[in-house]
Amino acid sequence: MKRLRRILYVFEDEPERNASLARAVDLARRTGASLTLAAVLERPERPEEEAAARAYETVYRELEREAREALASIARDHREGLPGIQCRVLVGTPHVEIVREVLREKHDLVMKTASPIGGLAAHLFGTLDTRLVELCPCPVWIDKPIPHERYERILAAVQVLEQETPEHAVTILEIASSIAEIEQAELHVLNVWSLPGETRLRGRAFTEAVKREIDMLVEHEQKRHEAALEALLSPFRERPIAIRAHLVKGTPEVAIPEQAERLGIDLIVMGSHVHSHLVGLLLGTVTEAVLRQAKCALLTVKPPDFETPITLEES
């Protein structure tokens, strides 16, 4: 992957060897990036009563020690080809401490296994995955198990005439094509389009002549998207990967998961567009909908002007 220098792999639960970790290790070795393994330990509020406070410190010091030892053991098993592998135990609110680690060490990719989705709290306030997708300044790769060792089909979802700037769309394609080269995978590029207000127009009792005018507008919009998508893809056609373009009429939150399943996609690469920094209130956005619905891995890429509201200092 181009420009990849520092990978942060996050264990949401107890550190253990898994397929997602193996993918992160393999990616670091192939790209020459450094790899940091991080365990997140969320502490409840410290009791005020003296005896309970002493017990609290003893218990959580022991948990931190166990986490450090588990990370060190995993790191030792992967030293070959990765002599600089690092370990971090992050203590505090998980998404906040992960973002702060990214800011401190200037990581340019966060990887983790998908959080379990279930329960009312996860539905209302989001999982660690949704909060990282919303607030982490670097790309976030949420991995899910696949039935084969390597990715075979990768989908880059771009909105060439809507949300993404040309620079953002190119970055999404750069990342997706680089992973496709590493994995020797097919690269599918999807642009979901629509004519704004078409449903409302179709619902009116227009004459046949007016209906033909609406059809003409729809055809014009489709051709605009076809031309824009091909212009975006043209520089990537020279790369040693198979690229297949897909232009689908519909809404991204529905079409992206549907097309991913239809095409047998292993990884979706797409932009992350956040309109609110209220932590966890990502409900309703395209990225959150895809994260919840897609059965494959998801890699989200922030726009170039994104700034996280999380800082290194305590608020």
**CATH number, domain containing residue 227:** 3.40.50.620
* Domain match, 188 and 264 both: yes
From 19-33, 181-195, 197-211, 222-236, the region with the lowest mean pLDDT: 197-211
Does residue 123 fall inside a structural domain?
no
* Per-residue pLDDT, 225: 93
* Domain match, 46 and 102 both: yes
| Measured distance CA(216)–CA(105) in Å, rounded | 53
* Per-residue pLDDT, 205: 60
Q: Is the pTM of this model over 0.85?
A: yes
* Per-residue pLDDT, 118: 53
Cβ contacts of 124 within 8 Å, gap of 6 or more: 280, 283
Which amino acid does the sequence have at 60? Answer: Y
Q: Tens of pLDDT along 85-137?
A: 999 999 999 999 999 999 999 999 999 999 876 543 444 346 899 999 989 99
| Measured distance CA(179)–CA(42) in Å, rounded | 33
From 35-39, 54-58, 87-91, 250-254, the region with the lowest mean pLDDT: 54-58
On whether the CB atoms of residues 265 and 228 are closer than 8 A, the answer is: no
* Domain match, 166 and 242 both: yes
* Domain match, 220 and 76 both: no
Does residue 307 fall inside a structural domain?
yes
* Per-residue pLDDT, 162: 72
* Domain match, 167 and 311 both: yes
Length of the chain: 315
* Per-residue pLDDT, 200: 77
- Domain containing 77 equals 1-113
| Measured distance CA(292)–CA(251) in Å, rounded | 16
* Domain match, 173 and 277 both: yes
Confidence of residue 279 (pLDDT cuts 50, 70, 90): very low
* Domain match, 202 and 308 both: yes
pLDDT at 245 over 90: yes
pLDDT at 313 over 90: no
Does residue 137 fall inside a structural domain?
no
Q: Tens of pLDDT along 138-160?
A: 999 999 888 788 899 999 999 88
* Domain match, 88 and 182 both: no
Q: What percent of the chain has pLDDT over 90?
A: 59
Confidence of residue 315 (pLDDT cuts 50, 70, 90): low
* Domain match, 24 and 166 both: no
Work out the end-to-end distance of the chain between its first and last CA atoms, rounded to an integer number of angstroms.
35
Stretch 278-300: mean pLDDT: 76
* Domain match, 226 and 289 both: yes
Cβ contacts of 166 within 8 Å, gap of 6 or more: 232
Torsion over CA of 25, 26, 28 and 32, rounded to 10 degrees?
Answer: 140
Which of the listed residues 64, 88, 113 is the one where a domain comes to its end? 113
Q: Buried b vs exposed e over 285-312: b needs ≥16 C-beta within 10 Å?
A: bbbbbbbbebebbbbbbbbeebebebee
Q: What percent of the chain has pLDDT over 70?
A: 90
On whether the CB atoms of residues 204 and 216 are closer than 8 A, the answer is: no
Q: Buried b vs exposed e over 54-70: b needs ≥16 C-beta within 10 Å?
A: eebeeeeeebeeebeeb
pLDDT at 266 over 70: yes
Q: Which of 21, 305, 275, 31 is nearest to 175 (CA)?
A: 31
On whether the CB atoms of residues 284 and 252 are closer than 8 A, the answer is: no
Q: In whole numbers, what is the pLDDT of the chain averaged over residues?
A: 87
DSSP letter at 282 equals -
Which of the listed residues 113, 131, 159 is the one where a domain comes to its end? 113
* Per-residue pLDDT, 166: 85
Q: Tens of pLDDT along 18-29?
A: 899 999 999 999
Does residue 64 fall inside a structural domain?
yes
Neighbours of 80 (CB within 10 A): 8
Does residue 119 fall inside a structural domain?
no
Which of the listed residues 113, 138, 170 is the one where a domain comes to its end? 113
Does residue 130 fall inside a structural domain?
no
On whether the CB atoms of residues 11 and 40 are closer than 8 A, the answer is: yes
* Domain match, 89 and 190 both: no
pLDDT at 206 over 90: no
Confidence of residue 280 (pLDDT cuts 50, 70, 90): very low
Does residue 124 fall inside a structural domain?
no
Q: Is the dihedral of CA 202, 229, 176, 306 positive or negative?
A: negative
* Domain match, 109 and 163 both: no
| Measured distance CA(249)–CA(246) in Å, rounded | 10
On whether the CB atoms of residues 247 and 230 are closer than 8 A, the answer is: no
- State how many domains the chain has: 2
* Per-residue pLDDT, 90: 96
